[in-house]
Amino acid sequence: MSDDIVLRMKNVDVFHGTFQALWNVSLEVRQGEMLALIGANTAGKTTLLDAISGMLHPKSGSIEFLGKEIGGLDPYRIVELGITQVPEGRRVFPDMTVLDNLIIGSYAGIARRKKPENLKIVHDLFPRLLERKRQVAKTLSGGEQQMLAIGRGLMAAPRLMLIDEMSLGLAPIVVDEIFKVLEEIRKRGITVLFVEQNVNRTLQEADRAYILETGRVALSGTAEDLRNNAEVKKAYFGVDSCEVKPGGYGG
Amino acid sequence: MGMGSGDIITPIVIGIMLGGLYALIALGLSLVFGVMRLINLAHGDLVVLSSYIAYALLTYLGLDPVVGLVISIPFMFILGFLIQRYLLGKGFAVSSETPLIIAFGISLVLQNLNQILWTPLSRGLNTSYTHASFFLGERQFPATYLLDFAAGIIVMLALRLFLTRTYMGRAISAASQDKRAAQLMGINTNRVYGYAFAVAMGSAAIAGVFLGMTFPFTPTSGTSFLTIAFGTVIIGGLGSMAGTFFGGIILGVFQTMGGYFLGPASQMLIVYVLVLLILAIRPTGLFGR
Amino acid sequence: MERLTPIAVVVVIAVLAALPLIGAPESWILYVFLFLVYLAMANMWNLLAGYAGLISLCQPAFLGLAAYTMTVGTWVGVPWWLGMVGGAFVAALFALAISVAVFRLSGVYFAIGTLVVPEAIRMVFYLWRPVGGKMQGAGAGYMVKGIGNLSPQEIYWLALVVAVGSVLILRGVLKSRLGLGLAAVRDNERCAASSGVNVFRLKLYTFIIAAAVTGFAGAVYYVYQGYIEPSATFNVKWTMTLLLATVIGGIRTEGGPMVGTIVVVFLYFLLARYAGYSLLIQGIILICIMLVSPQGLVGLARKTAVHPLARRITTLGRKAG
């Protein structure tokens, strides 16, 4: 594995019971990049993140993180190894305070030792979380909860951060704020893989992207290439006419 | 209990103190339910088991029951961890009803075991101070009730501290609020469940000792105490230690008031009826989530 | 091939019915009688817990209330057979009454709620003596009156009728719209509810039916025993027996309770000398079965499916299941 690549998935199949959700998925995540995963609701994006996080185990194929095979490991092991997921819907612990939510983020492995310094970093990135540290999490606004969820993820001292549908239900101005923070996070050497439905915005922020269609990788490339790609334009931006080629757009 | 005509203050005070004991018994059940959504049907019998252990230590080694806790708390802690790890935990993997049935099985095994070891005769933990009494003004109360209340408060506060100030405690709290998020935070939920159950058993050990000093117990007492614990948890709200404590007080006062107005024989029945009423009207409890 | 099974069933019933006539020893009759009573109740418990998802721990309440209705009836001049019917009716009514309280509860709460009910009723019958003069000891202990001219054989045949009836009722329910609805709820409760299935009513009907049959079987038992008192009647031992029988045999299978009840009665026979250890042993067996083979013996047989006859018996359940 070259120095550059942080995570590599090769020919991964994932099942939900008897239903196959991911088909022969291969992707690479490079150190320090903002990688986007795009696709419709049922494309399998969350399933892919869950496979990386260990919540689901691949039926076949391999997932390597920093050279180590992680497919089939328990979720807590994967957090210990340095991958953290900010789940869809934020899922902050509703009855805990903001501060306690952050503290529990540093539960696993070496993160505990780093708690004081990480806490400072998170408070610098999200001053509002410092202000509201004694506030119970369920009383926060959507945007604040998202910040808390990301901050909580940071407390785990990750190398790779997976963020699922962060902009859902948030005002564009809040989303801007959060993207700015993600840029800061990136500067600290953390790689970000984020999942979004909002293709336009995503392709502005990301370095590279993969497009998922019904559990398969349909397209991939740099954000620039994808922005200019005719098929992507037609499918997601509705630029061209509604002419449907036989067999779909066959990527 | 139930001092008869006129003086209503005495039953109220007794009810409050009794509530401390009930809370003490219920705290473990509340913790387990909050984390694993499991009502441990064997909880009452495990509390009584602790009473019998204390009885054995007292009778054969002359150990004061409270001192004996040094032995019984670790014992029940480990027992709890093992029960969760090898019996209940495995049951969860099969179906959601299986742990319930297994707990039912454990409950009856314990009852029968205690019956074989100790005969159905009722026992009590009698020390130099268990028959003492104290005065509040002109009214006289058994000293054990006060000890129960104090123990209830102490254990409740200790558990709260554990849940909010230690990593394992926070992990237990987190797992009870959102299991998926907890797993994504690197919490090994299986291990956490084991510890939660173990801690609950530790508190059950304490409850058993104070119970034995307050009331006589038999191998089948477990069911009544399960009902009391359950009633307390239902009233006070799941997973909240402070809520459970207040639930205990409410239940205790309700019981003594019932005894005051309707006679002492019906006290247990009143508890049962109250539990059923609350289940019918508001199963999530007065303070519950 | 298919015609063999109903014939086998008829033969078995005929043999059972003939037992008292061919001079089988009285102890055998007793054990078969127990088997029949337990079978009826186990079938109903299976219906509740296996098919309707209601882990009901209040069966003693149903059988006890029905039995007491019948017994008290005999003290006020109501003939025992009428009292039995009345008892079943009372049990059903009781199920209806507590359904309001216990049905709002999901599995765990429901179990606790139903655990409390028999305890509460036992307490009531300790304190309350419905008819007759004062008695020594615990409250409502009664002899059953007016059964002097009944022979044990007649009661035995009555039990046989009840047991067969329970099998037919179970089948009937599972094949009916009620059964379909229950299957839908088991599959996905929210889906079922949103497609117009009245989940509450389904569970209620199941609860009532189970209560009535269990009650009737209980009344039959106490006619045989001739004497009833609260602590043995409203006792968790009944629950344990039914739970064990259903689980050992195979929950949610039609043949399960049958197989399980045979095992349980056989155990009862083996452990007669160790009555003090019965709950202990039953509890351990229950735990082991739940961990090792939660689908019970029938489930095990299905998986290994060695003997073709065994397979035919176990697939009795497959068609309606």
Q: Tell me the C-alpha distance between C182 and C9, whole Å.
A: 27
Contact A107 B184 (CB under 8 A): no
Q: What is the pLDDT of residue C182?
A: 83
At least 3 CB pairs under 8 A between chains C and A: no
Q: What is the CATH number of the domain that holds B221?
A: 1.10.3470
Contact B185 A103 (CB under 8 A): no
Quote the Cα angle for C104-C214-C65, to 5°.
80
Structure tokens at C104: 């709002």
Contact C112 B39 (CB under 8 A): yes
**pLDDT at C103 > cutoff 90:** no
With a pLDDT cut of 90, the percent of chain B lying above it is 54
Residue type present at position A232:
V
Whether B1 maps to a domain, the answer reads: no
Give per-residue pLDDT as tens, C37-58: 999 999 999 999 888 888 888 9
Q: What is the pLDDT of residue B1?
A: 43
Nearest chain C residue to B37 by CA distance is C108
Q: Work out the minimum CA distance from B243 to partner chain A, whole angstroms.
A: 14
Which 8-state DSSP code applies to residue C277?
A: G
Q: Work out the minimum CA distance from C18 to partner chain B, whole angstroms.
A: 37
Q: Work out the minimum CA distance from A250 to partner chain B, whole angstroms.
A: 35
Domain ranges for chain C: 24-234, 237-321
Domain housing B76: 9-281
Whether B4 maps to a domain, the answer reads: no
Contact B184 A105 (CB under 8 A): no
Q: Choose, out of C115, C237, C238, C285, the residue to mutate when testing the contact with B (most B CBs < 10 Å).
A: C115
Q: Tell me the C-alpha distance between B35 and B197, whole Å.
A: 9
Whether B2 maps to a domain, the answer reads: no
For the whole model, what pTM was predicted?
Answer: 0.84
Whether B81 maps to a domain, the answer reads: yes
Contact B184 A109 (CB under 8 A): no
**pLDDT at C316 > cutoff 70:** no
Give per-residue pLDDT as tens, B110-145: 999 999 999 888 898 888 887 888 887 778 888 889
Contact C55 B101 (CB under 8 A): yes
pLDDT band at C9 (very low <50, low <70, confident <90, very high): confident
Q: Tell me the C-alpha distance between C62 and C114, whole Å.
A: 11
Q: What is the pLDDT of residue B73?
A: 96
Whether B103 maps to a domain, the answer reads: yes
Q: What is the mean pLDDT of residues A198-210?
A: 87
Give per-residue pLDDT as tens, A2-41: 568 999 999 999 998 889 999 999 999 999 999 999 888 7
The structural domain count of chain B equals 1
Candidate from A24-38, C278-292, C299-313 with smallest mean pLDDT:
C299-313
Q: What is the mean pLDDT of residues B76-98?
A: 88
Whether B47 maps to a domain, the answer reads: yes
Give per-residue pLDDT as tens, C213-267: 999 999 999 998 888 888 889 988 899 889 889 988 888 888 889 999 999 998 8
From the list C191, C119, A184, C21, the residue with the least C-alpha distance to B225 is C119
Q: What is the pLDDT of residue C282?
A: 87
- Chains linked to C by 3 or more Cβ pairs within 8 Å: B
Strands (E), chain A: 5-16, 19-30, 34-39, 60-65, 68-69, 83-86, 160-164, 191-196, 208-213, 216-222
Residue A247 gets the label, from left (phi > 0), alpha (psi -120 to 50) or beta, of left
Q: How many CB pairs under 8 A join A and B?
A: 70
Give per-residue pLDDT as tens, B32-72: 988 888 888 899 999 999 999 999 999 999 889 999 999 99
Q: Choose, out of B163, B176, B185, the residue to mutate when testing the contact with A (most A CBs < 10 Å).
A: B185
Q: What is the mean pLDDT of residues B182-193?
A: 93
Q: Report, in angstroms and rounded to the nearest whole number, the Rg of chain C calculated over CA atoms.
A: 20
- Could you count the other beta carbons within 10 Å of the beta carbon of residue C66? 33
Residue C175 gets the label, from left (phi > 0), alpha (psi -120 to 50) or beta, of alpha
Q: What is the mean pLDDT of residues B81-93?
A: 89
**pLDDT at B151 > cutoff 90:** yes
Whether B289 maps to a domain, the answer reads: no
Q: Which of residues 66-85 of A touch B (CB under 8 A)?
A: 74-76, 79-80, 84-85
Q: What is the pLDDT of residue A237?
A: 65
Residue type present at position B195:
Y
Whether B187 maps to a domain, the answer reads: yes
Of C178 and B18, the structure prediction assigns the larger pLDDT to B18
